[in-house]
Structure 1
């Protein structure tokens, strides 16, 4: 079976997420000579050139010898970028991290359905990302494995059963980091209000978030069980959690994620409509 480390990989777009993936691939042993990045911004090309990868501003040249093409452009420029390349993707695996771009929309622009759609998230920048992937049956097991290897360079990869579930992935993990940052902000503010120095409140909050996540990942207990283990009857934790329950925090979080899912669906429809 082929591996991503034996492939030529092209990135159309060299922004933060592309740079994260490139860094992850290089750290896993992919030779820099196998990576080509096309980006119109000279400053971005200079940053990437420092990694010894090939850089260009010509998308046609960039994809010519590629086995895998990673689409990493903004949704609003997708059609402009891809229309001149239509028909040039024969036998190339397309991995799209373009937010809201459905496979059929990308297929319309590229003339290929050999596409893996990915919803990544920003912790990929520190190699702790969570990526949801989906592809049509035309993408066989070997090519799915190649896509997994490209994304696994920056974190967890999970395949979903339908493209509609990508909107749920967007709501849970795509937007998810912001929810935790929001919680951190609130805890830091509370610590300051109770007299802690801001640096102390921040350090305690961030380490607690890291520790809780690490416990949840490594423990055989569920997050619910871990929460119960920390909650002594009539103790301090119970006092705080009772406030959360009275404010219906759990229900509100579920409502919030449903709103994110709906907006993801709307954005996908808007992008699809613009392609017609």
Structure 2
């Protein structure tokens, strides 16, 4: 009855913490408990000779006390219990990671990453952070033969489980001076807002941002100073952009 109760409790914990099916949970819990119980039983038989000797010398009551209070037996029981708990924790962690990686958003991001590795567009790179595919680091290189030429600009992409039905949140980490980039690095770009479509992937997002650098839209400014300078004093605007490019060489 104790084994059944323990198995039931362990299975309930597995179902509650991982959403795994009850049948799988019961199987995992039962196997773990049977293995540890069997191992403990073998240990008990190994020490049976000592127990019987104690029984003969001191009577049945002393035998029970010896088995219950023997330091080695207590230590062994703690070790076996710890191993059982560790096995269950490892199984829970494995199942949880597998389930998290199987969501539609994460599957799509894995496909996006594979495409970036196999067929990277010129002048961009990106990859998810270690152990977090929902947060990406990216780099955009300034287009050749433009004021942005030679710049190395860092970005982050924060993705939610709604992806690709909703766009990621993209912002520049590098300091920027551009009509459509806010001072905090956020980007005013139609495909990241009302013109978003699930057909866009990470490569398309980064490519569009790269194109935006040298083809801004001053009529929808995120930085009013940059927009005004771009429209009224292109020479000064280009000078400011070159300063940003030079800063990108030494930025962490």
Same fold (TM over 0.5): no
Q: TM-score, normalised by structure 2?
A: 0.25
Highest CA radius of gyration, 1 or 2? 2
Q: TM-score, normalised by structure 1?
A: 0.23
Higher RCO structure, 1 or 2 (CA under 8 Å, sep 6+): 1
